A and B are shown apart, each in its own frame.
Chain A
Amino acid sequence: MSQLSTLPDAELVQRCRAGESDAWNELVERYSRYVYAIAVRGFRLSEEDAEDVFQDVFTRAFMRLETLRDGSALKPWLAQLTRRRCLDAISGSGREQSVEEVMGDEGSADMEEVEEAFAVREAVAGLSEACQDILDRFFAQDQSYRTISEELDIPSGTIASRIARCLKKLRDELEGRNEAAEGSGE
């Protein structure tokens, strides 16, 4: 994990503004999946259109980063850029469906899922490496307790408890973030 990957958004933005190319790479790496997910899951764009949106959003972000007043608002700012660009793509594609039809209730639900997934992803990044690893193995790689036990060399009888404790930490992390967001009026 690079040092940049643990930087808060506000500092990352500051470094990007100072012209650090590594910081810019980190910004793209941090939010590439997010932007892509909004385009594909939220707006149901084709892979080709989503790729165009992706390129365009980060180009615009690069050009307009100076206009972002509060660096900690990077994520909602990117989300807004992405949504606008997706709407442009839909209206320019000659689709017969209206934007409302494309988004609909299902689209909104998908957007909520995207937001939730990224909130969880950010919270997971705030956990210890050991917790990140064991949660990834169980929930993302579908590894059995036995496989986890063998690969991490820990007693298999303790795996379920370890995962449960890591999930508790994850919940605390998420609740802390939510409270902080509510407190700042985000």
Chain B
Amino acid sequence: MVARCSRDSWDEAAGVAAQAQAIRDRAVVLAHTDGKVWEDALAALGNAQAQDASDARRDFALEQKLERAAAAPLEIAELGADVAALAALAGERGEGTYRADASAAAALAAGAARAAAHLVQVNLGVRAGDERLARASASEQVADDAAARLLGPTR
């Protein structure tokens, strides 16, 4: 919205608005995927707990489901970082009237990145030292830094 309203004063505005639209389209699909893979993982965990004996095939299937349940929030965290970066750019270079809206968008995106990074962290399939933790945490940091450029430090 900030970019769309800045077309007269900022020659990159239309390109930034197009990127925001593309990210929004991706986010809709990801949010749906995230809910689905989480439900699948939860059901698989329930089944595993209901059965006493260890079963290699079942354990493997559970592991796969947990993997997928970690992949979706990781992508959401990266998307949050991209949204925050885009919002920061729009806030800094777009029409000044809308800077507060850009700040709000950056803060929300940083919050989403933080929440998604936390979901990666608590996933049972993700262990300490896992590269996904580092990626999620880096995305959270990028989003935080972008929001801080407009709002000042948030933490």
Most chain A beta-carbon neighbours within 10 Å: one of B12, B86, B139? B12
Pick from A139, A145, A164, A166: contact of B81, CB below 8 A: A145
Most chain B beta-carbon neighbours within 10 Å: one of A142, A160, A167? A160
Asked if A163 and B26 sit within 8 Å, CB to CB, the answer is no
Using Cβ atoms and an 8 Å threshold, which residues of chain A touch B79?
A: 144
Q: List 21 A-B contacts (CB under 8 A).
A: A138-B19, A138-B22, A139-B22, A144-B81, A145-B82, A146-B78, A146-B81, A146-B142, A156-B85, A156-B142, A159-B85, A160-B82, A160-B89, A161-B12, A161-B89, A164-B14, A164-B16, A164-B19, A165-B12, A165-B15, A167-B14
Asked if B15 and A167 sit within 8 Å, CB to CB, the answer is yes
- Nearest neighbor of A166 in chain B, beta-carbon distance: B15
Asked if B14 and A146 sit within 8 Å, CB to CB, the answer is no
**B91 CB → nearest A CB, Å:** 12
Asked if A142 and B26 sit within 8 Å, CB to CB, the answer is yes
Provide the bound-state CA to CA distance between A142 and B15, in Å. Answer: 16
Chain B interfacial positions (CB closer than 8 Å to A): 11-16, 18-19, 22, 26, 75, 78-79, 81-82, 85-86, 89, 135, 138-139, 142
- Nearest neighbor of A144 in chain B, beta-carbon distance: B78
Q: Is A171 an interface residue (CB 8 A)?
A: yes
Provide the bound-state CA to CA distance between A69 and B77, in Å. Answer: 56
Asked if A160 and B139 sit within 8 Å, CB to CB, the answer is no
Mostly, the B contact residues are helix
Provide the bound-state CA to CA distance between A56 and B68, in Å. Answer: 44
Q: How many A-B residue pairs have CB under 8 A?
A: 52
Mostly, the A contact residues are helix
Pick from A144, A156, A168: contact of B11, CB below 8 A: A168
**B128 CB → nearest A CB, Å:** 22
- Nearest neighbor of B139 in chain A, beta-carbon distance: A146
Using Cβ atoms and an 8 Å threshold, which residues of chain A touch B81?
A: 144-146
Using Cβ atoms and an 8 Å threshold, which residues of chain B touch A168?
A: 11-12, 14-15
Provide the bound-state CA to CA distance between A11 and B89, in Å. Answer: 44
**B72 CB → nearest A CB, Å:** 13
- Nearest neighbor of B89 in chain A, beta-carbon distance: A160
Using Cβ atoms and an 8 Å threshold, which residues of chain B touch A167?
A: 14-15, 18
Using Cβ atoms and an 8 Å threshold, which residues of chain B touch A157?
A: 85
Asked if B138 and A146 sit within 8 Å, CB to CB, the answer is yes
Within 8 A of B (CB), among A148-175: 156-157, 159-161, 163-168, 171
Using Cβ atoms and an 8 Å threshold, which residues of chain A touch B19?
A: 138, 160, 163-164
**Apart from A144-B81, A145-B85, what 9 extra A-B contacts exist at CB < 8 Å?**
A138-B19, A142-B26, A144-B75, A160-B19, A160-B85, A163-B15, A166-B15, A167-B15, A168-B14
- Nearest neighbor of A170 in chain B, beta-carbon distance: B15
Asked if B142 and A164 sit within 8 Å, CB to CB, the answer is no
**A124 CB → nearest B CB, Å:** 13
Provide the bound-state CA to CA distance between A139 and B22, in Å. Answer: 7
Asked if A164 and B22 sit within 8 Å, CB to CB, the answer is no
